[in-house]
Amino acid sequence: MILQQKKYGLIDLILIPIQCAPVAATIGFIMSLIKNGAPILQVLVTAKFIDLAISVVQGQTDIATVLPYLLAVVILVGVDWIFSPWQLAGLPMVWIQTKIAEKFRSAITEKKAKLQYSSVENSETWDLVERISDKPEEKLKDAFEIFISLITIIIKVVGLIFILASQVWWAAVILFITTIPIFLMSVKSGKAQYQSVRDTSKLKRNYKYLSEILTGREAVNERAVFEYGTKLNETWHEHYETARKIQLKTRLKWYIRETSGGLITSLFTIIVTIVLLKPTVDGLLTIGMFMSLTNSFRSLAFIASWQLNFSIRKLVGSIEMMNDLTVFCALQQSEDATVKPSPAPLTFDSIVFDNVRFSYPGANSEILKGIHFTIESGKHYAFVGANGAGKTTITKLITGLYNGYSGNILVNGKRLTDYSEAEIKSLSAVVYQDFARYQITIKDNIALGNVNALNNDDLIHSAITTVGLEQAIYNLPHNINSYLGKLNQDGVDLSGGQWQRLAMARAIVNPAPLLILDEPTAALDPVSESKIYEEFEKLSANRTTIFISHRLGSTKLADKIFVIDDGTIAEEGTHDELIARNQIYATMYESQRGWYQ
Ligand SMILES: Nc1ncnc2c1ncn2[C@@H]1O[C@H](COP(=O)(O)OP(=O)(O)OP(=O)(O)O)[C@@H](O)[C@H]1O
């Protein structure tokens, strides 16, 4: 199934299930038609049956004439029972839900995977994505069911009103008029309730996150040491209660209104029943028709005030979900987002930042304020500077995560944005500060760095040696096939520094010509750090590297150091040149050296 960039609406609540499960949707639709058509016939047949039964009792008719009507009543009651939603008609709905889960959910997942990185980082977009991904198969199945039941309810109501009108026209008119405000109220209520879901989605995201901190494994150490459980629990409770109250308030407000509407309709049916007594006594209505009409009238009032109300409210909520789907489908996506890096990496002679200015989407302030620098192939560079200066942001632009900048980023003189996504992905391998810790096998943890050579064990072993993890890994009972983390029963855990080395191994197996290391050694002890640098020197002899580091000892090895200050390149040169310059870098270096004296 393909999601389109279009305005989704009411009709799509029917079309999507039909697209996903055409046979089940058709069967479900026909079943609902039969189920809801039966009561209309039932009114006529029951009236005739009662009248004939009275004639039989009075000795005016032969009992044989009643039997076909009795049989018809039994069949119609049977149909009603067999096609009840929780009986046979439920089966196609289960099938529809399974198919929607298979086709529609995977279309959503595919779109999510293709969303531009900038969209994923935006919290409003993320709220929308969360709403769309929250049990869509269940919501669409319910909407389809409700849509069909609404059509059939309308058929039922129109049919019964028609019969009523043919007998007592004014009662039909009054009943019709009373359903109009109930209909309008249901529409408003449905909208208000979906809006309350929107209003609370940010709060829900917050309290889900807090709940993860309070119960999840990731924060277990800090939670135990800092004992912040009570404090966070209070915040969690606050968010949870605010969201709950908003939804409860909306629900309660509309429940009271809807109940009052329902009570008025019920009162009206009692009055109509009393009023119908007169024409029955006068012989304008047969006793059978009176009994059948009052009976169906009661069910009609129930349908108009409760069932119709419920269905419309739910349906309007589903239409709001379609509005969300429209916005979701319009989100910018990159068709190549899911393509693999090209197996032959994009080699380069130079990467040039030419007056690059950049602000994060939705942010007011510029992070990069006209940056100029050149990276030459085969050389080693270091980016240093204070926290928040813009170092990581530069790497996000090189790796193509953001392209909403002004100025140019040129690779071999050609704009980076003119290369294909596969080429851009093959240009660089990165070890991020906040690298991921995958709870899968060690082998897969490393192999994921090169999706074009997932089963190259030699590459994995050589990366393990480079980052010095041989002892830690080869002593494990399952070697590189050992699971990491606590997700698996016999999973092993690594120290912070070992996880960091594993992330480096992941980047090392990647054949990209540019290796970006964003504070790769922050969790390493000094001996490991210098050992890793030695290994890296060997490894990156024919690669270009960009190191971002606050430990200026490591930057000494760089061919060129860029000092980033407030979104600009404040200084550049070798270690010795920058020390001789005696400005920002020299001050930083001296202050660090001071720690060890
Ligand atoms: N996704 C984002 N949206 C908005 N602002 C962001 C985003 N990511 C980073 N920033 C802001 O951009 C600025 C530069 O961040 P960046 O991560 O590039 O700094 P850095 O020099 O790498 O810092 P550090 O040394 O602390 O890692 C910071 O002020 C940060 O708050």
Give the pLDDT confidence of 302-331 residue by residue, as tens digits: 766 667 767 777 787 788 889 999 999 988
**CB half-sphere exposure, 507, CA atoms < 13 A:** 28
User: How many angstroms is it from 392 CA to the middle of ligand 1?
Assistant: 7
The number of residues in the chain equals 597
Cα→Cα distances 456→439, 447, 476, 511, 513, Å: 20, 8, 20, 13, 19
What atom of ligand 1 comes closest to residue 386's alpha carbon?
A: 25
| Residue 43, domain extent | 10-330
Same domain, 315 and 370: no
Nearest in space to 99 (alpha carbons), one of 23, 11, 8, 150:
23
Q: Judge whether 32 lies within some domain.
A: yes
3, part of any domain: no
Same domain, 42 and 81: yes
Q: Which atom of ligand 1 is nearest to the CA of 121?
A: 1
Is residue 4 a part of any domain in this protein? no
CA 338 to ligand 1 center in whole angstroms: 26
Same-domain check for residues 156 and 28: yes
Q: What pLDDT was estimated at residue 179?
A: 67
Dihedral over alpha carbons 116, 120, 124, 125 (to 10 degrees): 50
- Is 339 in contact with 425 (CB distance < 8 Å)? yes
* Residue 500 shares a structural domain with residue 568: yes
Å from CA of 360 to ligand 1 middle: 9
Is residue 322 domain-shared with residue 425, that is, in the same domain? no
Element (H, E) at 357: strand 350-358
CB 548, CB 383: distance < 8 Å: yes
Tally of structural domains, the chain: 2
DSSP state of 490: T
Residues 27, 63 within the same domain: yes
Domain final residue pick, 330, 361, 394? 330
Task: Report residues whose beta carbon is within 6 angstroms of any ligand 1 atom.
Answer: 121, 360, 363, 367, 385, 387-393, 433
Atom 7 of ligand 1, nearest CA residue: 360
Residue 569 pairs with which residues in a beta bridge? 564
Residue 176 lies in a domain: yes
Q: Atom 31, ligand 1: which residue's CA is nearest? A: 388
Residue 571: strand, helix, or coil: strand
Rounded distance from Cα 518 to ligand 1 centre (Å): 13
> Which of residues 330, 363, 393 is at a domain's end?
330
- Same domain (yes/no): 364, 304: no
d(CA 437, CA 442): 10
**Angle, helix 67-82 to helix 22-57, in steps of 10 degrees:** 150
Regarding pTM above 0.80, the answer is no
Q: Does residue 393 belong to any structural domain of this protein?
A: yes
Query: Which residues in the chain land under pLDDT 50?
Result: 86
Residues 226 and 302 in one domain: yes
Q: How far is the CA of 363 from the centre of ligand 1 (A)?
A: 12
In a domain, 181, yes or no: yes
Sequence-distant (6+) residues with CB within 8 A of 275 are 171
- Ligand 1 atom closest to 519 (CA): 27
Q: What is the pLDDT of residue 370?
A: 93
Q: Pseudo-torsion of CA 577, 583, 585, 586, nearest 10°?
A: 80
Q: Which residue's CA is the nearest one to ligand 1's atom 27?
A: 387
What is the distance in A from the centroid of ligand 1 to the CA of 405?
15
Q: Is residue 323 part of a domain?
A: yes
Distance, in Å, from the CA atom of 289 to the CA atom of 286, rounded to the nearest integer, reads 5
Per-residue pLDDT tens digits for 418-471: 999 899 999 999 888 778 888 889 999 999 988 887 788 898 999 998 888 888
Residues 373 and 248 grouped into a single domain: no
Q: Do 252 and 356 sit in the same domain of this protein?
A: no
| Other Cβ atoms within 10 Å of 235 Cβ, number | 15
CA distance 493 to 40: 68
Instruction: Show the beta-strand stretches assigned E in 346-488.
Output: 350-358, 368-376, 380-385, 406-411, 414-415, 428-431
> Based on the domain organization, do 492 and 545 belong to the same domain?
yes
| Nearest-CA residue for atom 6 of ligand 1 | 360
Nearest CA to ligand 1 atom 13: 388
Distance, CA of 189 to CA of 255 (rounded, Å): 9
The reply to whether 563 falls in a domain is yes
Shared domain for 289 and 423, answered yes or no, is no
| End residue of a domain, out of 297, 330, 363 | 330
CATH code where residue 314 lies = 1.20.1560.10
CATH number (domain holding residue 443)? 3.40.50.300
Q: Tell me how far apart the alpha carbons of residues 17 and 521 are, in angstroms, rounded to a whole number.
A: 52
Number of the ligand 1 atom closest to the C-alpha atom of 383: 21
